Every structure is written in structure tokens, then in C-alpha cells.
Amino acid sequence: MLSSEQIAQLAGAICATAETLGQTVSAGAAKMMAEDLAGYALEHIRSALQACRRELPGKLTLSAILQRIQAEDGRPGKDEAWAIALASSDEFETVVMTDEIQVALSAARPVLDAGDKIGARMAFMSAYERLLINARAELKPVNWHMSIGFDAARRVAAVTAAVQMQRIPRDHGQMYLADLSHVPITDDGRAIAGLLTGDVVEPSQKVRQKLKVLKEGMQAMSKASEEERTEMKIAAANDLAERRALLIKQAEQLKGVTV
């Protein structure tokens, strides 16, 4: 949030920008526009004003400034977002996606699974545009995260590209790459640990299903509120306690078996 002094300076910059476009904006109107922009980073606002001076054929408006700020918020356009979403459907592919892409893909998944790629694209685009509008209205910063695939070579390439495109911090990328040095032991163990290894191993159908459930659970946890996370932890603890009680009971039954 901009300070009062920064808002005053921004109002002056708005007046000056309008003047370069052959327009006069009153001090009061400029102050109102500056206050409406106060939730954005000052460098992004300045960049947007510069773009307006270079690009606008007509009058300076708040909408024109906002469009240029939002275009630089790091979120991909809908066509690029759809391409990322499709790539994430390949279990061997590692992709970096935003929260909005993930949610929009979930909305389109039933149509995509039914084999209607065109319908899925339309459903995705519609959901993605709504999510972008909401996120930008709430001034949410973009959040990129990794969707890890089984192919180690693709993981390295995806992480490297994400760092170069500044979609994940360099230290996060280094951490992901460092994890690839771990060596698995067994076949299914190698498949389960395949997210962190240098080898690609086709997991069994049972393991693939478990990995899918685990991945969905982790995604749900990351999106849940604090109260929902607490409920998830309680449910997991109860499930663990039930499993432990069952194992103890089975062990006691085995002790009673005579050979």
C-alpha cells in the first residue's frame, strides 16, 4: 500500500502523463485515481504510466492504467495457460503453473476426460478468465508452483526454464534440482521417489493411483483455510490411529497362533 506522500507524488505523475496526451486532469481527479491505484507496487504503476504515454491514442483513464498494470502481474494469457494445463495432464511432464490454471483445469477436467478437447478448452478459458478477474480485483500476487512429473530429464529442464523466466525464485529452483540427487532403492520405491531422482521408472497401476491421491491431497491442503487444514490433520491422525490399532490387534492374534 502506498503512503500518503507516494499517493501525492503519483497524482502529480498522473497529471503530467495526461498532459503529454493533450489532456488536463484536475488535482482532485488525479488524487482519486492515485488512491485507487494505491494497492499496487509503485514501480508497476510507473511502468504502466510510461506505457500509456507511449501507446494511448486518446485520453488517459484509470482503466487504461489498470490494464497495463495487470498485464505485467506475471499471470499468463489464456492461450498460454491452456497449453500449460494440457502439459500437466502428462504424468511424465513437469510443469510450473499458477493457482488460477490449476483451479480452471479442475473445472475443465470432466470434459477433458470425456475426450472433448474443444469443449474442455472452452470450459477452461471461461473459468480462467473469471479467476483472473477475481484475483486481480483482490490484488492477489501471482503464485507459481511445480507440478512434478516422473521424467527426471524433463524435471530438470522445467525447473531451469522456470528460474530463467523468473516464475520461481532461484533458491527454490536450486532446492528442486538438489533433490534430484537422491537415489531410490526398489522398483516401486524408485517410482514413488521418482519425483526426486535421476531415473524414470514406470510405476505399477496401484502406485500410480496412490501417487495421484497423494498429489491431490497436497494440493487440497495448500488451498485450504487454516480451519480446514486443522480438520484435515485431525482426520489424518484419526486414520493413523485406526491403522495402528488394527496392526496391534493383528499382531496379538498372531501371538496366539500355535505352530
Asked whether 203 and 211 are in contact (CB, 8 A), the reply is yes
For residue 189, pLDDT over 90 is answered with no
CA angle 190, 169, 166 (to 5 degrees): 110
For residue 259, pLDDT over 60 is answered with no
Hey, CA dihedral for 158, 161, 166, 169, is it positive or negative? positive
Asked whether 6 and 42 are in contact (CB, 8 A), the reply is yes
pLDDT digits (tens, 9 = 90+) for 232-245: 666 666 666 666 66
Asked whether 39 and 1 are in contact (CB, 8 A), the reply is yes
Percent of the chain with pLDDT over 90: 47
**What is the SS3 assignment for 75?**
coil
Quickly count: other Cβ atoms within 10 Å of residue 132's Cβ.
20
pLDDT at 258: 47
Asked whether 157 and 177 are in contact (CB, 8 A), the reply is no
**What is the SS3 assignment for 253?**
helix
Q: Which of 85-94, 152-161, 197-206 has the lowest mean pLDDT?
A: 197-206
How far is it, in rounded angstroms, from Cα 240 to Cα 243? 5
pLDDT at 221: 61
Contact partners, residue 245, CB within 8 Å, separation at least 6: none
Chain-centroid distance, C-alpha 50: 29
Please give the average per-residue pLDDT across 170-190, as a whole number: 65
Element (H, E) at 146: strand 144-147
pLDDT digits (tens, 9 = 90+) for 94-147: 899 999 999 999 999 999 999 999 999 999 999 999 999 999 988 898 999 888
Element (H, E) at 95: strand 95-98
Helix ranges restricted to H, the chain: 4-20, 27-36, 42-55, 62-71, 78-87, 99-113, 117-137, 152-164, 170-179, 187-192, 205-223, 226-255
pLDDT at 133: 92
**What is the SS3 assignment for 46?**
helix
pLDDT digits (tens, 9 = 90+) for 59-73: 999 999 999 998 888
Give residue 175's pLDDT band: very low, low, confident or very high (50, 70, 90): confident
Pick from 149, 177, 183, 150: nearest CA to 161: 177
For residue 218, pLDDT over 90 is answered with no
Report pTM: 0.61
Asked whether 38 and 1 are in contact (CB, 8 A), the reply is yes
Domain ranges of the chain: 4-71, 78-223
pLDDT at 245: 64
Query: Across the chain, what does the average pLDDT equal?
Result: 82
The better pLDDT of the pair 196, 6 is held by 6
DSSP letters, 192-229, are HGGGGSS---PPPHHHHHHHHHHHHHHHHHHHS-HHHH
Pick from 11, 154, 29, 141: nearest CA to 96: 154
Grid cell digits, residue 123: 470450459
Q: Name the phi and psi angles at 149, rounded to 5.
A: -105, 175
pLDDT at 251: 64
